[in-house]
Amino acid sequence: MKKLPAIAVCLVSAISAALFFSFTANTDPGRNAAIVRVEGGLISGEKSKLSDVMSFKGIPFAAPPVGELRWKAPQPVKPWSGVKTCNAFGPSPMQSKPVPFMVYTREFLIPEEPISEDCLYLNVWAKPRAAVKKPVFVWIYGGGFSSGGTAVPIYDGEAMAKKGIIFVSINYRVGVFGFMAHPELTKESPYNASGNYGLLDQIAALRWVKKNIAAFGGDPDNVTIAGQSAGSMSVNCLVASPLAKGLFNKAIAESGSLMVANPMLKNSDLQGAEQQGIKLANSAHAASLKELRALPAAELLKLRGIFAPIVDGYVLPEPVPQIFAEGKENRVPLLIGWNADEAFVSGFKKKDEFIKQAKEQYGADADEFFKYYPAGTDEEAARSQIKLSRDMMFAISGYKWACVQSAQAKLPVYVYYFARKLPATPDYVKYGAFHTGEVAYVMDDLKFLNRPWEPADFELANLMSSYWANFIKTGNPNGNSLAPWPAYNSTSQQAMIFDKNSRKGELPDWKELKFMGTRMSM
């Protein structure tokens, strides 16, 4: 093959550079697109109508996990030719049709379409590139490991990007597609494990960020992972996993971890999860892994089981509390907290039944239990059950992680308690500071929720998002003339309490969390 003339080589190089760096130069408000080269090819984004923030939505970070790639670790992205238009979210992971429930209106849910197994896409919001690399914020959604996606309205990243941050949100497989284990899957795996595909998706997305975020002006060595609910538990797993080493340097956990047993999730080992997989295959009348992979996704959605992270010997070589106890986790600064009223109670026990059950469970410690969860009347017992639900599901696990973190040298932890009872119509007012209620404040995205907001709410959103932005940048939420937020320790129990009048103070309910935490284990 003949060599290209020198002038041709220079011309090709110049064109490639122009394409690659067009995002840097695109500061003209009249231009609406930018082109960036990422792993797989060129992509174009879209400029906001309200700011100079560019969004790139639906960027593939791995091959579609379909067909023979169903229940396999994410594979390299398939290259494409030309410029891929990335101005719409990719499909949400395969799950049941999202239906509003309780306080969770459409703003908290993914769109009804598209939903697909072909779901491994991420999104980037960024201002034009500057001389200084920007810190990166990677958001991991919640949904009980069975639902969720990046297209949820309150996960919009523009407001945080305006604060000088590269905002990234990532999809991962959920439910049976993301967390089913089976002996045949373990046998075919090069790492001799199965399940935890959703966590492997998250790790693959973080590796993509490490390799590609500089093209958007981001700093690949200044990455904060963050999540809420199951996303917070995922953050806990990523901090614990040796596979995620070096992919982030800070963590934010909102409402949840796997530091203690969670009544909503049965965190089993690989063998137990494999046995569930066998039962699921039998119920689907699939005699082999090949037949399982041939089943339509809609049929697999009908299978009922517990799908969540497991101790597989690979992603999680040991139970999460043990990894932390042995000091084997990825040591990073932590911002963690929970909400005052987040609870899921399907039915209330009358006071007599509640008292009887507590005495049976706590024995000699029952009197102390009733100090924190009183049951003098049926109404008081109901309030205690709400509080107990919050603690068992979300608060105790966060408290335990904060205590472990604060005990380790050079690992600051900042604890918050979100107490703002969101303004609501009479139908919703009873939910108070409910589970997920803080997210729109953290993202400064109140505009996406149809609520009777007060000026205090917008002030709180600006306050919380500013603290979060500072932590994302430096590992410390303080700065920018904000009220001091002290690092947490188990002696002073200092936390930031977010409400209409936010303040630092003693962490509410820490005594009951300590009492209950000593009685819970994985």
What is the set of active-site residues? Answer: 229, 342, 435
Give 19-78 pLDDT, tens digit per residue: 333 454 343 433 456 899 999 999 999 999 999 999 999 999 999 999 999 999 999 999
Query: Burial, 324: exposed, middle or buried (Cβ in 10 Å; 0-12, 13-18, 19+)?
Result: buried
| Distance in angstroms (rounded) separating the CA atoms of residues 211 and 208 | 5
pTM of the predicted model as reported, rounded to 2 decimal places? 0.93
For residues 325 and 362, state if they share a domain: no
Q: What confidence score (pLDDT) does residue 272 get?
A: 93
What CATH number does residue 102 fall under?
3.40.50.1820
Identity of the amino acid at 409: A
Shared domain check, 114 and 90 = yes
- In this structure, the answer to whether residues 40 and 99 fall within a common structural domain is yes
The pLDDT, as a whole number, for residue 414 is 98
Q: Please indicate, yes or no, whether residues 112 and 78 belong to a single structural domain of this protein.
A: yes
Cα dist from 339 to 390, 419, 438, whole Å: 8, 6, 7
- Asked if residue 179 and residue 55 are part of one domain, the reply reads yes
Query: At which residue do the structure tokens 């919380």 appear?
Result: 464
End-to-end C-alpha distance for the chain, whole angstroms: 64
Tokens 């993301």 belong to 178
Verify that 367 and 289 share a domain, yes or no. no
Q: Rounded to an integer, what distance in angstroms lies between the CA atom of residue 165 and that of residue 49?
A: 19
- 187 shares a domain with 108: yes
As for how many domains the chain has, the answer is 2
Side chain identity, residue 93: P
307 & 394 share domain: no
| Last residue of one domain, picked from the residues 284, 311, 332 | 332
Q: In this predicted structure, what is the pLDDT of residue 23?
A: 53
Q: What is the chain's percent helix, strand, coil content, to nearest 5?
A: 40, 15, 45
Q: Looking at 312, 332, 352, which one is the last position of a domain?
A: 332
Range of the domain at 372: 339-522
> What are 201-236's pLDDT values in tens digits?
999 999 999 999 999 999 999 999 999 999 999 999
- Residue that finishes a domain, picked among 275, 310, 332: 332
Distance CA 131, CA 129 (A): 7
The pLDDT value recorded for residue 266 is 59
Q: Quote the CA–CA distance of 87 and 103 in Å, as a whole number.
A: 30
User: Quick one: pLDDT at residue 13?
Assistant: 38
pLDDT at residue 231, as a whole number: 98
Q: Do 160 and 90 belong to one domain?
A: yes
Q: Check whether residue 36 and residue 165 sit in a common domain.
A: yes
pLDDT score for 371: 95
Identify whether residues 304 and 423 lie together within a single domain.
no
Give CA 320 to chain center in angstroms. 17
The pLDDT value given to residue 265: 60
Q: Are residues 268 and 345 in the same domain?
A: no
State which residues of the chain have pLDDT below 50. Answer: 1-22, 24-31, 522
CB 92 within 8 A of CB 110: yes
Is the bond leading into 114 cis (omega within 30 degrees of zero)?
yes
